[in-house]
Amino acid sequence: MNNIDAIVRIEFSSNTAMIMNICIGFLMFGIALDMKISDFKRVVEYPKSVIVGLGSQLIILPILTILLIKLWGPIPSVALGLIMIASCPGGNVSNFAVHLGKGNTALSVTLTSIVTIFAILITPLSFSLWSKLLPETQPILASIKVDYLSMLRIIGLVLLVPLISGMWFNNRFPKNTARIKKPVRSISLIMFAAFIFFAVFNNRVNIVKYLQLVFLLVVIHNFLALSAGYFFAKLNRRTTRDSKAICMETGVQNAGLGLVLILNFFGEYGGMMLVAAFWGVWNITSALALGLFWNYRSSKTAGI
């Protein structure tokens, strides 16, 4: 085992893991309060853009991840961390960033909703498929003996159940939803951020020490993901507004879910944890920065 795996880890008991799962579940419930059945009906409105967006996130992003790993040659646990992130559904921050950047927000929400709902099947299948293309990671997978049925169950509990519950509540009690959705989302974000802060606090010295091993790799990975999403959309003759949405859906992943799965199944591999933790911070930063840049460019063009 590499030093980073032995040193950089989050010590957690089964109770701590359960708290983490509850935090993510509550966060997803808050996100679902903004989701409607109509989000899925938009597939009819943007059929080609939806297909291009799904292809970019589910195929182009993992392929780019494999190629980057082959060229960079990181340690196996870091490679698996990148594969885990590439296998997760898009993060909800993408919707806000697309809106900020004057992209097609409706398309962004539709893509996020579709991939998130089907993450219970897509994430474990994608992780299993793409990780098999990396022979250097097989010893880790063999030693862990990942139970993909258990992974599916956890994704269902922390993702699918809260999403369905939130959408049902939104549809059944729209007035109550309007009153509580902002407080619920704020509280859930604070809970999740507080848990992560206290969970990694005891490892802060080692995390800072080893962050250099993944910093540039994560930045380049995220840059490639955003660029690939945008130019793949343009290559398929999508509008600039649609291309912005597909760009964000490809480059902004649900690192929180990735961290939950890593804590539950790969807790002894600090490299995976470090990738997921830093990715979660960096992709929010890059998405908001890009959204602000697009907003500035749009405002400047409109003013001419």
Quote the pLDDT of residue 225: 96
State if pTM tops 0.75.
yes
In the 8-state DSSP scheme, what is residue 91? P
Distance CA 186, CA 180 (A): 10
Residue 151: count of CB within 10 angstroms of its CB? 18
Domain boundaries, the chain: 3-293
Report whether 107 contacts 49 (CB < 8 A): yes
Quote the pLDDT of residue 170: 83
Distance CA 226, CA 25 (A): 27
Q: Find out if CATH 3.40.50.800 is the number for domain 3-293.
A: no
Per-residue confidence in pLDDT tens, the chain, 304 aa:
566 776 665 555 556 667 777 777 777 787 777 777 766 676 777 789 999 999 999 999 999 999 999 999 999 999 999 999 999 988 777 888 888 898 888 888 888 888 888 888 889 899 989 999 999 888 888 877 767 777 778 888 777 788 788 888 888 888 888 888 778 877 876 776 676 666 666 666 666 777 788 899 999 999 999 999 999 999 999 999 999 999 999 999 988 888 888 887 887 788 888 898 888 888 888 998 999 999 988 877 654 4
Q: Please tell me whether residue 146 adopts helix, strand or coil conformation.
A: coil
Q: Please tell me whether residue 185 adopts helix, strand or coil conformation.
A: helix
Query: Would you say how long the chain is, in residues?
Result: 304
Quote the pLDDT of residue 290: 94
Residue with tokens 């498929």: 129
Q: How large is the angle between the packed helices 76-87 and 255-265, nearest 10 degrees?
A: 130
